[in-house]
A and B are shown apart, each in its own frame.
Chain A
Amino acid sequence: MPQVVLRVAKPFMNIGRFTILMSSAFMSLRELKTYRQNTQIQMVRIGIESIPIVALAAAFSGAVTTVQTAYQLVSPLIPPKIIGAVVVPSLTMELGAVVTGFILSGRVGARIAAELGTMRVTEQIDALEAMGLNSIGYLIVPRVLAGILMVPVLYVAACVIGVLGGVAAAELTGAVSSPEFILGAREHFDIFGPYFGLIKSFVFGFLITAVSCHIGYFTEGGADGVGRSTTRAAVMSCVLILIADLVLAILLL
């Protein structure tokens, strides 16, 4: 096949390979009991061990959003409680999910791609297959499932800690008192916001883990290939998070 045609066809080939990989993974769900322990390990690594960094990022996101909102809303016509009405929906609908997604792209996506890539280039995956184990069920399903289940947990943590960070920043800077902040958040609260964020976090969890698994699983070359896969996994996860964020906003809002 000519080089140009290959270059044009490569994205479509990747999409096709990704679709086949995910189909195989979901077909392997019936074997989940076999890989239960592996799934638990992945849930701890993706979810529990990511809580500190996600909490830190969320707290600062909430605080910075509060300070910047207070800075921009300096007007005698706008009551200070509006800061709460801006910050809380921003966190629940956007920042809580997206910041968590970006953090996990770097932390989890890169790690998954590196793990699977190393296993591929060292032929450990071939060895698993040779032993009669379903490598997709053993390596990919636990990771994707862990991502889908644990990213929403991290999203909830990010929202709560982000709001607390916002309240703390509001009190510390004197922009607005915490009761006023909460009052504004309650007055303008839209119940769909948290559900929208939750839906996003499910999607982001799937995208980060699935794309990273795909890139890592099909790694080529030696250590250099693993490095490239790691970088590609982090970048592709971030890009897909942004695209999915826009698509979901258009579809659901």
Chain B
Amino acid sequence: MKINNELKIGLAVVLAGVVFYLGIRFLRDLPLFGQATVYHTELVNSNGLAVGNAVVVNGVGVGSITEVRLILTGAYITFSVEEDVALTEGTTASAGGFGFVSSVQLNLTLGPPDAPVYEPGSLIPASNQSDVLADLTDRAPAVLGRIDTVLTGSSQAISAARDLLTGPESQMQQTLASIRNSAGAFEAVLLAEQGSMQAVLKDIEQLAITLESFAGDSLGGAATALKEVLVRLSMNLDLLETTTVELNTLLASINSGQGTLGKLVTDDSLYVEAHAASAALRRILENFEENPNQYLRHLKLIDFF
């Protein structure tokens, strides 16, 4: 069948028109054949939102922006979303998606699922969240102040370090000078005592030779004797440990008031009685010094017997 020119041209033009229309809807993330629902929102700052930017719910593209218009209070945004996306009351809109490689988008935060659905063409309120750029702008003075403080502190620290290092009377300089003096004195001593040190080194060398010979003959016996001493010491330490344990037990008994010594330690009535007895004895002695005859008479009676 020969296709005539009219049909060819008609098919080509219609196909191109349909493909162009569907292609744009596809790239705008709109449903190819279904209807899209149109809503509006007002943002104080659109942050560069433009026609064709995506409308996103929970990170999923659901539509695109169809109009951005400047108004006195900010920007009036018209956007369309897929028909099956229900924007319930409580839904808010905000501009987002800032980054090096991501474009700006309109983020929708959905309201409660059981809330009534907004009518098509409704005005979706803007989110109360301030935008990122505004946040950065607000924080900038404080951050700059802190940076200033840090830089001033750093500058002072560097200055102090420089003074410490380069000042003629700085501690570091004094320390270095002291070290330098000490090194000089040490060098002088070394030069002065070079002869003596050589003699000492010779003595040490002879001592080493002697020790070597001693090690060959007697070091084994000395080691054996030392081992025996250590064994005995170990036994004594064991005994000492046992004794210590017993002493601890005894002290615990005394502290808890057990036995005579414990009662003596813990019960103060004995101390009171002893104190009273001491006082009584002092009184008797005083009385004896005052009236010795009274007691001597009794002694005489004893002598008599």
- Select A160's contact among B19, B52, B54, B103, beta carbons within 8 Å: B19
CB distance from B46 to the nearest CB of A (A): 15
Is the Cβ of B6 less than 8 Å from the Cβ of A40? Answer: yes
The closest CB in chain A to the CB of B100 belongs to A77
CB distance from A149 to the nearest CB of B (A): 7
Give the dominant DSSP class at A's interface: helix
Is the Cβ of B50 less than 8 Å from the Cβ of A160? Answer: no
Query: Which of A170-178, A182-190, A202-210, A239-247 is near enough to bind chain B?
Result: A182-190
Kindly identify, within residues 220 to 264 of chain B, every residue whose CB is under 8 Å from any CB belonging to chain A. none
B20 near A: Cβ within 8 Å?
yes
The closest CB in chain A to the CB of B17 belongs to A156
- A47 / chain B contacts, CB cutoff of 8 Å: 9, 12
* A188-B103, A191-B52 known; A153 vs B29 contact (CB < 8 Å): no
What 5 A-B pairs have minimum CB-CB distances, sorted nearest first? A191-B52, A153-B16, A156-B16, A40-B5, A189-B27
- B172 / chain A contacts, CB cutoff of 8 Å: none
- B28 / chain A contacts, CB cutoff of 8 Å: 186, 189, 191
- B16 / chain A contacts, CB cutoff of 8 Å: 152-153, 156-157
Is the Cβ of A149 less than 8 Å from the Cβ of B54? Answer: no
CB distance from A176 to the nearest CB of B (A): 13
- A192 / chain B contacts, CB cutoff of 8 Å: 51-52
Q: B87-123 CB contact bits vs A (8 Å, 1 = yes)? A: 0000000000000111101000000000000000000
Chain B residues at the A interface, C-beta cutoff of 8 Å: 5-6, 8-9, 12-13, 16-17, 19-20, 23-24, 27-29, 50-52, 54, 61, 100-103, 105
CB distance from A62 to the nearest CB of B (A): 14
- Could you tell me the distance between the alpha carbons of A198 and B23 in the complex, rounded to whole angstroms? 13
The closest CB in chain B to the CB of A89 belongs to B27
Give 30 A-B contacts (CB < 8 Å), ordered by A residue.
A40-B6, A40-B9, A41-B5, A43-B5, A44-B8, A44-B9, A48-B9, A48-B12, A78-B101, A88-B27, A150-B9, A150-B12, A153-B13, A156-B17, A156-B19, A156-B20, A157-B16, A160-B19, A186-B27, A186-B54, A187-B54, A187-B61, A187-B102, A187-B103, A188-B103, A189-B52, A192-B51, A194-B20, A194-B24, A198-B20
CB distance from B59 to the nearest CB of A (A): 11
- Could you tell me the distance between the alpha carbons of A199 and B234 in the complex, rounded to whole angstroms? 106
A140 near B: Cβ within 8 Å?
no
Is the Cβ of A43 less than 8 Å from the Cβ of B9? Answer: yes
- A16 / chain B contacts, CB cutoff of 8 Å: none
- Could you tell me the distance between the alpha carbons of A150 and B16 in the complex, rounded to whole angstroms? 10
Is the Cβ of A159 less than 8 Å from the Cβ of B52? Answer: no
Is the Cβ of B61 less than 8 Å from the Cβ of A186? Answer: yes
The closest CB in chain B to the CB of A49 belongs to B8
Is the Cβ of A190 less than 8 Å from the Cβ of B54? Answer: no
- Could you tell me the distance between the alpha carbons of A160 and B19 in the complex, rounded to whole angstroms? 8
- Could you tell me the distance between the alpha carbons of A40 and B23 in the complex, rounded to whole angstroms? 27
CB distance from B142 to the nearest CB of A (A): 29
- A187 / chain B contacts, CB cutoff of 8 Å: 54, 61, 102-103, 105
- B51 / chain A contacts, CB cutoff of 8 Å: 191-192
Q: A66-91 CB contact bits vs B (8 Å, 1 = yes)? A: 00000000000111001000001000
- B6 / chain A contacts, CB cutoff of 8 Å: 40
CB distance from B174 to the nearest CB of A (A): 53
Which of B27, B52, B61 has the most CB atoms of chain A within a 10 A radius of its CB? B27
The closest CB in chain A to the CB of B51 belongs to A191
- Could you tell me the distance between the alpha carbons of A48 and B6 in the complex, rounded to whole angstroms? 11
Is the Cβ of B8 less than 8 Å from the Cβ of A48? Answer: yes
Is the Cβ of B27 less than 8 Å from the Cβ of A149? Answer: no
Which of A78, A190, A194 has the most CB atoms of chain B within a 10 A radius of its CB? A190
* A47-B9, A153-B16 known; A159 vs B23 contact (CB < 8 Å): yes
CB distance from B10 to the nearest CB of A (A): 10
Q: A29-72 CB contact bits vs B (8 Å, 1 = yes)? A: 00000000000110110011001000000000000000000000
- Could you tell me the distance between the alpha carbons of A187 and B61 in the complex, rounded to whole angstroms? 9
- B9 / chain A contacts, CB cutoff of 8 Å: 40, 43-44, 47-48, 150
CB distance from B3 to the nearest CB of A (A): 10
The closest CB in chain B to the CB of A44 belongs to B5
- A77 / chain B contacts, CB cutoff of 8 Å: 100-101
Is the Cβ of A190 less than 8 Å from the Cβ of B50? Answer: yes
